[in-house]
Copies of this chain bind each other. A is one copy, B any other.
């Protein structure tokens, strides 16, 4: 009898605790804690809730749950220079060591001085020579190794951290949240497809087959021991920018996304294509308006255009007109980088 009474009082005590204390076990954990409680956050939560709830008229079957994300300026920092451009410039000394005659040839000569102002002034055609020299001519396996070694050792100039630390914590949360709800998350980037694939797995949890990017041809060859090789060739197959983004999405995925995220005019057609699909769709643009914690640029804020992806006034107007969600980094994000924690 004593035992029974003890059990009863334990149960009662437990019930009282549940009545008076917060009930963390039953409360829903906030999937987007780095987002302030704003319209942008509500737009994401509402969209994902509606499209993954079988009782909702906007329900989307799991196989069709595709979300596409621009990379530079949307998932991580793109200023003052795209990370891939830094990579290509950083590769030049190794190139010159292998072919010393390049030291006296432009554009390699200027790059070897390390003078960033002079490098920034190189004409586009000269820059292309650097891209061709550092991104083609090797096997795809060699290239993966080169990029992985670099990404592990390179540090950005402002934060003195690996570039992979510069992904936006709020966007990591969106990737994880959407994946947890059955969405497949794709990167759709103007950057090099093979370049981004080299770190997308570790950095974003995105496998190579879910990276759509600017892609060059490869050439099937046989190596010295007769082994089959795929060698990166200087021939452009897909320029994955502007109209190239929906075209690349069709080529690589073959389905129209239900959600798309970008930050510049290069993402416009992807967002238009996404939003024009039947049923509920989500189109989001990240506005870089936080000079203190990150950067502020783009005419949409009365700031000058820059060499990197730009959020023009026309893009801003289209977003407002067509119901795209504009995310203010300053107002909508309470934390920008994971290392701020």
Of the residues B230, B253, B255, B269, contact of A246 by C-beta under 8 Å: B230
Interface assignment of A243: CB less than 8 Å from any CB of chain B: yes
User: Nearest-CB distance from A71 to chain B (Å)?
Assistant: 15
Chain B residues contacting A211 (CB-CB under 8 Å) are 254
Chain B residues contacting A251 (CB-CB under 8 Å) are 193, 215, 218, 237, 252
Contact with B along A192-215 (1 / 0, CB 8 A): 011001000000000111010001
Distance A254 CA – B252 CA, assembled complex (angstroms): 11
Of the residues B208, B217, B238, B276, contact of A255 by C-beta under 8 Å: B208
Query: Quick check: B247 and A217 within 8 Å, CB to CB?
Result: yes
**A237-B237, A269-B220 as given contacts; A197 in contact with B247, CB under 8 Å:** no
Tally of this chain's copies: 2
Distance A97 CA – B137 CA, assembled complex (angstroms): 50
**A220-B269, A237-B238 as given contacts; A230 in contact with B208, CB under 8 Å:** no
Q: Sample 25 A-B pairs with CB under 8 A, ordered by A number.
A: A193-B251, A197-B254, A207-B254, A208-B253, A208-B254, A209-B209, A209-B252, A209-B254, A211-B254, A215-B251, A218-B247, A218-B251, A219-B247, A220-B243, A220-B247, A220-B273, A228-B246, A228-B272, A230-B246, A230-B250, A230-B273, A237-B237, A237-B238, A251-B252, A252-B252
Distance A254 CA – B112 CA, assembled complex (angstroms): 33
Chain B residues contacting A218 (CB-CB under 8 Å) are 247, 250-251
Chain B residues contacting A250 (CB-CB under 8 Å) are 140, 218, 230
Extra contacts, 10 of them, besides A63-B207, A207-B254, A220-B243 (Cβ < 8 A), are: A193-B254, A208-B255, A209-B209, A209-B252, A215-B251, A218-B247, A220-B246, A227-B276, A228-B273, A252-B252
Chain B residues contacting A237 (CB-CB under 8 Å) are 237-238, 251
Sort chain A's interface into a size bin: 20 to 34
Chain B residues contacting A243 (CB-CB under 8 Å) are 219-220
Distance A254 CA – B147 CA, assembled complex (angstroms): 15
Chain B residues contacting A140 (CB-CB under 8 Å) are 250
**A207-B63, A218-B247, A247-B217 as given contacts; A228 in contact with B197, CB under 8 Å:** no
Query: Quick check: B269 and A228 within 8 Å, CB to CB?
Result: yes
Chain B residues contacting A247 (CB-CB under 8 Å) are 217-220, 230
Distance A33 CA – B32 CA, assembled complex (angstroms): 49
Closest to A66 in B: B209
Distance A279 CA – B228 CA, assembled complex (angstroms): 16
Distance A140 CA – B140 CA, assembled complex (angstroms): 31
Contact with B along A216-258 (1 / 0, CB 8 A): 0111100000011010000001100001001100111111000
Chain B residues contacting A246 (CB-CB under 8 Å) are 220, 228, 230
Distance A218 CA – B193 CA, assembled complex (angstroms): 19
Closest to A230 in B: B250
Chain B residues contacting A207 (CB-CB under 8 Å) are 63, 254
Closest to A211 in B: B254
Chain B residues contacting A269 (CB-CB under 8 Å) are 220, 228
Distance A250 CA – B232 CA, assembled complex (angstroms): 11
Distance A256 CA – B184 CA, assembled complex (angstroms): 21
Contact with B along A155-196 (1 / 0, CB 8 A): 000000000000000000000000000000000000001100
Distance A273 CA – B193 CA, assembled complex (angstroms): 20
